[in-house]
Amino acid sequence: MIAPDGLDLSRPRRLHLVGAGGSGMAPFARLLQAEGHAITGADAKEGANVQALRAHGIPVVTGTEADLLPARTEAVIHSAAIPAEAVPLRAAREAGLPVIKYARAVGLYARGRRTCAVAGTHGKTTTTALLAHVMRRGGLRPGFLVGGVVPQLKARPKPKAPWFVVEACEYDRSFLHIAPEVAIVTNIEPEHLDYYKDIVEIRDAFQAFAREVSGLLVLHESLRDDLARASGIRARVLTYGPSPDADVRVLPADRKRGVNAFETGGRVYRLKLPGFHNVLHADAVLAVPRDLGIPEATAASALASFRGTCRRLQVVGRPRGVSVVDDYAHHPTEVAAGLQALRDAYAPRRLWVVFQPHQYSRLRRFLPEFAQALSKADRIVVPDIFAARDADEDRRAVHSNDLVAAVKACGAEAVHIADFTAIVDFVRTQARAGDVVVTMGAGDVGDVAGRLAEAL
């Protein structure tokens, strides 16, 4: 574990969060508020998370005001996306205040709590939300930190909760600030290659994370060689997956629209979430309750009642017979899984995807894989790339039109339309009753789903 530094969260403090609207920072702000800390925030722009924080009594400034450091601030916490020389961080350091990254602060918050952490290249948010939901239904009343909006977990965070469920991200080796009692690792793939050199570095980071787990380590069966057999693993290891060798084996039971049924350990479980990838997330969660004293029947009931996470194959509306869906997928594996889930749920209906590439660097490195995944849709629309932490070299090296050309080379129909308003108009005039339109990406493409549902 990387030792946290410079900030005592054991007593109420005046904390300023820079990048407060981030997917992890926003719920963390509410957790800190529930613990009695006085929270202020700043972000580069307005957004749903910023507005939600204000609604909960946390003042957040945007634009040019975001550079200002509030009076009487005692410490600054910032997201990994904020550069070290950003004005408020520099001002805080000059004032002698502690300035620490979000991941370090989460590690501090977790100290003294029994922590369940969910890591992996894909599936962290849904798996974390499922685990927190099952634990709540099992009477454990955990605190939780999920990098997404989960309507069923909207109740005010529990202060001083003995259990803490956290989504543990591998970017910037953030998850090494946490020493969990229980951990789930869903998968390991090349990702965040703007930070990691290659898959070897990524595996090394996950092995370091696995060595920090003290109690139960739940792994997808594909990770036996990478993690279960790595040196220094202290935790008891359980594997999950569809093969006979998995400790917690999952078998499809039946498939009906709106219901994923699967069998584990002789019991049939039902899940409202579509796609076999979500069945695997549920299977991972089912490896945990027995260790926590949660009865199987309670876990089964909790899974069946879970309604999902916003922007994870979320049905936004069905105007004029067109199903409009929104999804956070921004890696080729996630795109492929999401489109397959929609095919399974809606076949033989025509499938549209509006895919916004997230990061020039990611598109540059995975262009063929993105093209292959997207080609499984019937109509593909690609807006401009959403930039985040991109080097000038990456920005010059790739364009949305390159993805369109690669998709066409795979035999699919694709077009580049830069502007969201033009995309809404295009899809509105071309879509017909019975079509399914999914917006995909980690940027602001979710706005298209809402606007399209209104326009139709």
Give tens-digit pLDDT for 122-178.
999 999 999 999 999 999 989 999 988 898 887 666 667 889 999 999 998 999 999
Q: Does a structural domain hold residue 249?
A: yes
> Does residue 88 sit in the same domain as residue 121?
no
Q: Which amino acid is at 37?
A: H
> Does residue 298 sit in the same domain as residue 346?
no
Q: Give the residue from 52, 76, 102 where a domain finishes.
A: 102
Length of the chain: 456
Query: Average pLDDT over the chain, rounded to whole?
Result: 92
Question: Quick one: pLDDT at residue 256?
Answer: 59
Question: Quick one: pLDDT at residue 157?
Answer: 62
pLDDT bin (cut points 50, 70, 90) of residue 247 is very high
> Does residue 61 sit in the same domain as residue 169?
no
Residue with tokens 């869906």: 325
Q: Is the dihedral of CA 298, 299, 301, 306 positive or negative?
A: positive
* Domains held by the chain: number: 3
Mean pLDDT, range 273-282, rounded to an integer: 94
Among 53, 126, 120, 119, CA closest to 310: 126
Question: Quick one: pLDDT at residue 11?
Answer: 87
* Burial degree of 207 (CB within 10 A; 0-12, 13-18, 19+): middle
pLDDT bin (cut points 50, 70, 90) of residue 48 is confident
Give tens-digit pLDDT for 82-115.
988 999 999 999 999 999 999 999 999 998 899 9
Instruction: Write out the two tokens for 46.
Output: 């307005």
Q: Does a structural domain hold residue 198?
A: yes
Q: Does a structural domain hold residue 421?
A: yes
| Entry pTM | 0.92
> Does residue 75 sit in the same domain as residue 146?
no
pLDDT bin (cut points 50, 70, 90) of residue 456 is confident
Other CB atoms within a 10 A radius of the CB of residue 315 amount to 16
Q: How far is CA 412 from CA 249, 351, 445, in A?
A: 36, 12, 21
Q: Which amino acid is at 430?
A: Q
* Burial degree of 110 (CB within 10 A; 0-12, 13-18, 19+): buried
> Does residue 355 sit in the same domain as residue 445?
yes
Q: Give the residue from 67, 102, 137 where a domain finishes.
A: 102
Backbone φ, ψ for residue 273 (5° rounding): -75, 135
CATH at 146: 3.40.1190.10
CATH at 435: 3.90.190.20
> Does residue 55 sit in the same domain as residue 141?
no
Percent of the chain with pLDDT over 90: 81
Instruction: Write out the two tokens for 263.
Output: 């069998």
Give tens-digit pLDDT for 353-374.
999 999 999 999 999 999 999 9
* Burial degree of 442 (CB within 10 A; 0-12, 13-18, 19+): buried
User: By residue range, what is the domain housing residue 208?
Assistant: 112-305
Residue with tokens 């502690």: 98
> Does residue 260 sit in the same domain as residue 293?
yes
Q: Which residue has the higher pLDDT, 387 or 3?
A: 387
- Quick check: bond before 348 cis, omega within 30? yes
Q: Give the residue from 69, 84, 102 where a domain finishes.
A: 102
Residue with tokens 């205040």: 97
Give the DSSP per-residue string, 158-208.
Answer: PTT-SEEEEE---GGGGGGG---SEEEE----S--TTT-SSHHHHHHHHHH
Give tens-digit pLDDT for 392-440.
999 999 999 999 999 999 999 999 999 999 999 999 999 999 999 999 9
Question: Quick one: pLDDT at residue 3?
Answer: 46
Q: Does a structural domain hold residue 380?
A: yes
Residue with tokens 């995975």: 366
> Does residue 61 sit in the same domain as residue 148?
no
Question: Quick one: pLDDT at residue 285?
Answer: 97
Residue 350 in this model has a pLDDT that exceeds 60? yes
Q: Which amino acid is at 390?
A: D
Task: Give me the helix-helix angle, 296-305 and 124-137, nearest 10°.
Answer: 130
Per the CB < 8 A criterion, the answer to whether 27 and 50 are in contact is no
CA distance 182 to 292: 10
Per the CB < 8 A criterion, the answer to whether 139 and 116 are in contact is no
> Does residue 288 sit in the same domain as residue 348?
no
CATH at 41: 3.40.50.720
Mean pLDDT, range 318-341, rounded to an integer: 96
> Does residue 147 sit in the same domain as residue 98?
no
Q: Does a structural domain hold residue 93?
A: yes
Q: Does a structural domain hold residue 431?
A: yes
Question: Quick one: pLDDT at residue 388?
Answer: 86
> Does residue 208 sit in the same domain as residue 190?
yes
> Does residue 276 sit in the same domain as residue 384?
no
Beta bridge partners of 75: 15
Residue 332 in this model has a pLDDT that exceeds 60? yes
Instruction: Write out the two tokens for 219.
Output: 């792994």
Q: How far is CA 108 from CA 7, 80, 275, 377, in A?
A: 8, 16, 36, 44
Q: How far is CA 436 from CA 67, 118, 313, 342, in A?
A: 43, 31, 12, 8
Helix (H) or strand (E) holding 61: strand 60-62
Beta bridge partners of 184: 118, 218
DSSP 40: E
Question: Quick one: pLDDT at residue 418?
Answer: 96
